[in-house]
Structure 1
Amino acid sequence: MANTKSAEKRNRQAQKRRARNTAVRTTVKNAVKKARETLATKDTTKSADAVKNATRTLAKAASKGVLHPRNAARRIARLAKAAKAAKA
């Protein structure tokens, strides 16, 4: 338990950040999952939109500091590679 006012404030801030980061991570996971599912169906128009949306959410999460930039870049590259393979 926090003993000082500043420690209590830091704790409140950490709780807010943790809640925000969890929400962003969940949206990222859902977007990537949806993209992978649409790629499996071979529907090119829906899959292109889903991959674009997942790429956007991953990039946003990286810019906000929720994900490490290289982690996001790696996931984006894998999605793009899967999209290219599904297209061919």
Structure 2
Amino acid sequence: MPVVHKSTIRRARQSEKRRLRNRATISSVRSILRKVQDAIAAKKPDEAKATLREATSALGKAVTKGVLKPNTASRRVSRLTVRVNALTASA
């Protein structure tokens, strides 16, 4: 039977806590991103702009918490912004 140190048990507990916290953050970010994409698909520029603002904020918070890397968030914001701007230009 292997020796299990106290620090190993503690680290496993901390890791699980962090995993759940990160999962919750990622889940909320994904749902907000889905709202933006749905608004774009439905061709609703006002709703798309409003949800884009929410998405930008949520992605920034995810970066601050260390759940997402800065470049990933920046890329997602950029791509969504391009799509929303194209929608508003065509409307």
Structure-1-length-normalised TM-score: 0.94
| Structure 1: tracts of 5 or more residues without a match | none
**Aligned twin of 1:54:** 55
1:26-79 Cα deviation digits (max 9, x unpaired): 111111111011012222221111111111111110111001110000001001
* 2:12 maps to 1:8: no
Root-mean-square deviation (CA, aligned residues, Å) is 1.4
**Count, aligned residues:** 88
Q: Conserved in 2, the CA contact under 8 Å of 1:28 and 1:57?
A: yes
**Between Structure 1 and Structure 2, whose CA radius of gyration is higher?**
2
Structure 2 distance, partners of 1:62, 1:72, is 7
**Large movers: runs of 4+ above 3 Å:** none
Q: Percent identity?
A: 36
Structure-2-length-normalised TM-score: 0.91
CA change 1:72–1:2 in 2 (3 A) is farther
Single out whichever of 39-48 and 6-15 deviates more from structure 2. Answer: 39-48
CA change 1:44–1:2 in 2 (3 A) is farther
Q: Conserved in 2, the CA contact under 8 Å of 1:2 and 1:8?
A: no
- Read off the aligned partner of 2:21 and give its amino acid letter: R
**Aligned twin of 1:31:** 32
